[in-house]
Amino acid sequence: MEKSIKELISEIILELALPDANDTPIIKVWAMEGMGEIGNSRLQAFETDWIYFDDLQVCKPKNMIAPIKVILSIDKKNCVEPYIDPKLVRCGCCDNCHSHCEITMGENQTHFYFSSNASHHNACKIQYIGLPCDEDGEPLIDDSCKRAVKQYVNYRITVRDRKRDRNKVPMSEVDYERQQWVILKNQAAGRINMPTLLEMPSIVKQFYNAGITIDMVVDRYNRYWSGYAYNR
C-alpha cells in the first residue's frame, strides 16, 4: 500500500497531537529528511505529454529526480537532442542546423529554462527518472516507511526539546529515540523491494548517453527530499 507524502505528513501531525500549529512546517521538513535517510524508492522512467510553455521556461514534474532528455517541439514535432552537461541541446527541425538551433538549457529547483533562440519552439516533452506519484503529481510513499518516518520526527522533536531544557530531557532519552530510529530505518529500507538503477540497464544506458552518472542521481535524490518540504 502507498499513500501520498501529504497524507503521510497529515497523519504524523495528527498522531503527534502538536499543541503549537507553528510546528507544522518543521514537522514537514523532518518527515522529508526521514524519507531521504531511508533511501527509498521505486524509481521509474517517465515521459510527460507535450507541455506548452511561455517565457522560455517549463515547470519540472513534481516527482522528478533526474532528467534523461528534454525534447523541444514546434507544433509537437520532435526536434531536439538529449539533455546533456554542459546543457546544450541541438535542434533537428531544420535541414541545415545553424546558430539559432544551438539552444542552451538551464535549470533551477522547479523549472527548466531555455536560451532566447528557442523562442520559435512552443512545447516540450520531458523524459525523466522519478518517484511513483498520485494524480496530483505528489510522490507516493510505501506504507513500510511510515513507522520509520514517524520515529525520525519523534527523534528530532526530542533533540529540540533537550536543547530547550536540558534538565527536562536527559541525553539518555535522545539516545534511545535515535536508536529506535536507526532500527526502524534499517527495517524500512530492507522491506522496499525496488530494482536498483544497476538492475535497470535500459535506464542506466539512457543516463550514460545523456552524460548523467549514478552519483548524480543519488545526489539529486537526496536534494529532492531536502528541498521538497520547502518548495511544494
151 in a structural domain: yes
In a domain, 51, yes or no: yes
Average pLDDT, the chain: 76
Q: Return the amino acid letter for 35.
A: M
State which of 89, 104, 130 marks the end of a domain.
130
SS3 assignment, position 78: strand
Does position 82 have pLDDT exceeding 50, yes or no?
Answer: no
Residue 167 backbone phi and psi in degrees, to 5: -75, -30
Q: What are 61's three cell numbers?
A: 514534474
pLDDT tens string 154-205 = 999 999 999 999 999 999 999 999 999 999 998 888 776 555 554 555 655 5
Q: What domain range is 147 assigned to? A: 2-42+134-194
- Does position 140 have pLDDT exceeding 60, yes or no? yes
Does residue 146 belong to any structural domain of this protein? Answer: yes
Phi, psi of 188 (to 5 degrees): -65, -45
- pLDDT at position 1 is 73
**Residues 6+ positions from 166 with CB-CB distance below 8 Å:** none
Query: In terms of domains, do 141 and 123 share one?
Result: no
Q: Which residue has the higher pLDDT, 122 or 159?
A: 159
Q: What is the pLDDT of residues 37-66, one digit of tens each?
A: 887 566 778 888 888 888 889 999 888 888
Q: What proportions of the chain, in percent to the nearest 5, are helix, strand and coil?
A: 45, 25, 30
84 and 185 co-located in one domain: no
Same domain flag for 108 and 144? no
Q: Is the pLDDT of residue 114 over 50?
A: yes
Whether 131 has a pLDDT exceeding 70, the answer reads: yes
